[in-house]
């Protein structure tokens, strides 16, 4: 068992004021695999004060030196890929065959990318008789989720420290062990004391303390829309900057002339990746009614390939969900889909055969879903796909945009130019056209109740900068 009885504040591992510890559970076995401090508001305040003290020196450190340290963080993280991937597969349930490349590889890449992007920022420029200067926003509170825990941490702390900010991190209490491993790396690499601080605990205590703290200049939050609204409320009291990456109910529009042999397997994968525990998962497949029977047949065939299993087995393609709460929540949504009259094509509420222990859910597909159904409107965060039929392209676009969310989307069509025109009409932060490849330099973030602000590339770094003009 991994016992983490200290938090990382001011460049040191220090005892928390906590009197209790939080259990970390293996999602495959439901066994306790670790413990971390159930941090207090005093812990959060100590971390903020350490960040405040470190800010003047760090913000004046040359960009090249900051980037050198960031590259070192990426290299050191890469050296521990196997160990950390195993930890995250236990915490979250992503299959071990994917965790190395996704749960650790993406964070490594994010560190290295930020080091490159920082030199591309126009730190100073002349506009008439003014010198425009870009400066770090200050102390940043980073509050991160459990589904891609390390990646979401690095997407915040890497650009923040590259910009010259100092950081207080509150990782998810459900999947915190990877964050402690990162803090060890920070310590080993020699990031100056107070530039990065880690306080574990629950959102209602540590998260709220960070969001409300008068000495925190910005909060970057990834999580549910409900929690994001609370962060905004608390941050408003001190008028601090907020960046939010929240929920999604993303649409995958299959046009009349789409190649179903390519679109359907890709669409199912985009829904079921990480057991559906992905904010940008394409959970609504919007298809021509004239091709509905063909789509249903191919979707079921593709879904069969996602057989649930222990995330540590190399052949597993669909691991467990992260917790009992999440498992029960997803099963409740499946039951609601059945109760509201959707057509269950495969899956269901019963546990997968032979996997009664662990947080497993059967990969589930519904057809005959209408826009008013709960499973078409609310974020499920599990391996549940809803198929909605349309008669015209106008109707397809209307269905896709009929959501309070706007995080991601997809469009598949035989004519790439036409598919792109449809993609432009979707009110969402990113759209994959005909399975367009993941681009880590492209901005990621949402419209509507999926939040605001962007992560990745130069776009993500600029979130952590202020703009000053000097008239001469």
CATH number at residue 281: 3.40.309.10
- 62: tokens are 């040359």
* Residue 372 pLDDT: 98
Residues of the chain with pLDDT under 50: none
Give the DSSP H/E element, type plus range, for residue 287.
strand 284-288
111 within some domain: yes
Q: Are residues 20 and 74 in the same domain?
A: yes
Write down the residue that tokens 């491993």 correspond to: 181
Q: CB within 8 A of 69, min separation 6: which ones?
A: 161, 189, 190, 191
CA angle 38, 40, 45 (to 5 degrees): 135
pLDDT in tens, 390-399: 999 999 999 9
Provide the annotated active-site residues. 245, 279
d(CA 110, CA 188) in angstroms, rounded, equals: 19
Q: Are 178 and 66 in contact (CB under 8 A)?
A: no
Q: Are residues 126 and 215 in the same domain?
A: yes
Of 402, 337, 403, 328, nearest in space to 374 by CA:
337
* Residue 119 pLDDT: 87
Q: Are 175 and 24 in contact (CB under 8 A)?
A: yes
Say which CATH number the domain at 46 has.
Answer: 3.40.605.10
Cβ neighbours, 10 Å, residue 302 = 20
Q: Are 199 and 49 in contact (CB under 8 A)?
A: no
d(CA 399, CA 389) in angstroms, rounded, equals: 9
Q: Are residues 109 and 43 in the same domain?
A: yes
Q: Are residues 104 and 63 in the same domain?
A: yes
444 within some domain: no
d(CA 311, CA 300) in angstroms, rounded, equals: 22
* Residue 7 pLDDT: 98
Domain count, the chain: 2
Q: Are residues 23 and 98 in the same domain?
A: yes
- The SS3 assignment for 135 reads strand
Q: Are residues 181 and 281 in the same domain?
A: no
Q: Are 11 and 192 in contact (CB under 8 A)?
A: yes
Of 110, 109, 116, nearest in space to 66 by CA:
116
220 within some domain: yes
CA angle 382, 384, 390 (to 5 degrees): 140
- 53: tokens are 């003290």
- 220: tokens are 């970057």
Q: Are residues 97 and 200 in the same domain?
A: yes
Burial of 14 (0-12, 13-18, 19+ CB in 10 A): middle
Strand pairing of 384-390 and 284-288? parallel
Helices 81-92 and 177-189, packing angle to 10 deg: 160
Cβ neighbours, 10 Å, residue 371 = 12
Length of the chain: 472
Q: Are residues 402 and 465 in the same domain?
A: no
Q: Are residues 242 and 255 in the same domain?
A: no
* Residue 120 pLDDT: 87
Q: Are 181 and 204 in contact (CB under 8 A)?
A: no
* Residue 440 pLDDT: 86
> In sequence order, what are the beta bridge partners of 245?
222, 451
68 within some domain: yes
> In sequence order, what are the beta bridge partners of 136?
465
* Residue 27 pLDDT: 98
Q: Are residues 381 and 429 in the same domain?
A: yes
d(CA 190, CA 194) in angstroms, rounded, equals: 11
Q: Are residues 288 and 208 in the same domain?
A: no
- 338: tokens are 């059945």
Residue 446, CA distances (Å) to 73, 273, 322, 406 in order: 28, 20, 24, 5
17 within some domain: yes
215 within some domain: yes
Strand pairing of 12-15 and 6-9? antiparallel
- 468: tokens are 């000053």
Q: Are 460 and 420 in contact (CB under 8 A)?
A: no
Phi, psi of 286 (to 5 degrees): -105, 115
Q: Are residues 454 and 418 in the same domain?
A: no
CA angle 346, 282, 97 (to 5 degrees): 80
Strand pairing of 364-367 and 384-390? parallel
Of 26, 48, 23, nearest in space to 36 by CA:
23
187 within some domain: yes
Domain that holds residue 154: 2-246+450-471
pTM over 0.85: yes
d(CA 230, CA 31) in angstroms, rounded, equals: 32
445 within some domain: no
* Residue 15 pLDDT: 97
């Amino acid at each position: 068992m991994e016992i983490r009885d200290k938090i990382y504040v001011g460049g040191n591992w220090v005892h928390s004021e906590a009197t209790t510890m939080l259990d970390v559970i293996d999602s495959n076995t439901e066994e306790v695999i670790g413990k971390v401090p159930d941090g207090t508001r005093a812990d959060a305040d100590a971390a903020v004060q350490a960040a405040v003290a470190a800010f003047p020196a760090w913000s004046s450190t040359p960009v090249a030196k900051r980037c050198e340290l960031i590259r070192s963080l990426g290299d050191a993280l890469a050296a521990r890929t196997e160990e950390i991937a195993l930890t995250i597969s236990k915490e979250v349930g992503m299959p071990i065959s994917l965790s190395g490349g996704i749960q650790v590889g993406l964070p490594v890449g994010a560190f290295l990318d930020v080091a490159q992007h920082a030199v591309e920022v126009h730190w100073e420029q002349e506009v008439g008789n003014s010198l425009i200067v870009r400066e770090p926003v200050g102390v940043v509170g980073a509050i991160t989720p459990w589904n891609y825990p390390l990646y979401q941490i690095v997407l915040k702390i890497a650009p923040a420290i590259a910009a010259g900010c100092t950081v207080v991190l509150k990782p998810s209490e459900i999947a915190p062990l990877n964050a402690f491993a990162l803090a060890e790396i920070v310590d080993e690499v020699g990031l100056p004391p107070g530039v990065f601080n880690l306080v574990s605990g629950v959102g209602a205590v540590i998260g709220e303390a960070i969001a409300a703290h008068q000495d925190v200049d910005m909060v970057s939050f990834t999580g549910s829309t409900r929690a994001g609204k609370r962060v905004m409320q608390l941050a408003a009291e001190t008028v601090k900057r907020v960046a939010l990456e929240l929920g999604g109910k993303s649409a995958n529009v299959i046009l009349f002339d789409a190649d179903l042999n390519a679109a359907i397997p890709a669409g199912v994968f985009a829904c079921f990746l990480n057991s559906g525990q992905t904010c940008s998962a394409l959970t609504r497949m919007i298809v021509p009614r004239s091709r509905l029977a063909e789509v249903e047949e191919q979707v079921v065939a593709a879904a069969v390939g996602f057989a649930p299993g222990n995330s540590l087995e190399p052949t597993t393609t669909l691991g467990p969900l992260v917790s009992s709460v999440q498992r029960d929540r997803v099963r409740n949504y499946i039951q609601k889909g059945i109760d509201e009259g959707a057509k269950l094509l495969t899956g269901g509420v019963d546990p997968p055969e032979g996997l009664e222990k662990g947080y497993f859910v059967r990969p589930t597909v519904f057809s005959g879903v209408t826009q008013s159904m709960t499973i078409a409107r609310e974020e499920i965060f599990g391996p549940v796909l809803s198929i909605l039929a349309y008669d015209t392209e106008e109707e397809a676009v209307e269905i896709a945009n009929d959501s309070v969310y706007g995080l991601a989307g997809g469009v598949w069509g035989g004519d790439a130019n036409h598919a792109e025109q449809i993609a432009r009409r979707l009110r969402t932060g990113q759209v994959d056209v005909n399975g367009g490849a993941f681009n880590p330099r492209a901005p990621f973030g949402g419209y509507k109740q999926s939040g605001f602000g962007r992560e990745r590339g130069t776009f993500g770094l600029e979130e952590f900068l202020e703009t000053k003009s000097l008239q001469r």
